[in-house]
């Protein structure tokens, strides 16, 4: 909730790509905290990092799509990108489950998913700012 409340103003002041990349790092760090949690504080750390990142990143993604693609095709862009996100939502549990079956616990699967989140930050950093029409 806190992330959602501040994401608009934050995205207007700072580079949305950098903020989104930071959110992906927060997702990674949070998932690693949960995966290797040895105390309640680590579980709470996961909840704070993951929740803040999720709340910030959602509205930022909408704004990035509008910045990069404009308003004329926003419905198509939202639909296509939602399909990509849905693929991630479907494959994440499958990856974790297959690796848990193979290893006997979820640590390897959750670590892989955390590292994929970290890799996601790289893609945000590589995204070039759109050219402004003259």
Task: Summarize pLDDT for 97-116 with one digit per residue, the tens.
Answer: 999 999 999 999 999 999 99
Which pLDDT belongs to residue 1? 67
The SS3 assignment for 132 reads: coil
Q: Domain extents for the chain?
A: 2-126
Which pLDDT belongs to residue 70? 81
Mean model confidence pLDDT for the chain: 90
Residues 6 or more apart from 49 whose CB is under 8 A from it? 26, 27, 29, 30, 33
**Looking at residues 1-22, what average pLDDT do you find?**
83
Task: Summarize pLDDT for 54-102 with one digit per residue, the tens.
Answer: 989 888 988 888 888 888 888 888 899 889 889 988 999 999 999 999 9
Residues 37 and 34: their CA atoms lie apart, in Å, by 5
**Looking at residues 114-121, what average pLDDT do you find?**
94
Residues 23 and 31 sit within 8 Å (Cβ to Cβ): no
**pLDDT surpasses 70 at 2:** no
Residues 6 or more apart from 69 whose CB is under 8 A from it? 77
Which pLDDT belongs to residue 128? 85
Which pLDDT belongs to residue 111? 96
């Amino acid at each position: 909730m806190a992330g959602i409340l501040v994401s608009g103003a934050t995205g207007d002041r700072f580079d949305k790509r950098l903020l989104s990349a930071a959110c992906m790092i927060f997702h990674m760090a949070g998932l690693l905290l949960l995966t290797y949690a040895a105390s309640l504080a680590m579980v709470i750390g996961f909840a704070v990092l993951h929740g803040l990142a999720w709340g910030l990143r959602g509205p930022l993604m909408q704004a990035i799509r509008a910045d990069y693609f404009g308003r004329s095709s926003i419905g198509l862009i939202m639909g296509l990108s939602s399909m990509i996100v849905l693929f991630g939502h479907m494959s994440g549990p499958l990856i974790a489950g297959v690796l848990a079956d193979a290893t006997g616990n979820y640590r390897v699967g959750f670590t892989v998913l955390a590292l994929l989140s970290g890799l996601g930050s790289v893609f945000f950093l590589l995204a070039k700012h759109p050219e402004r029409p003259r």
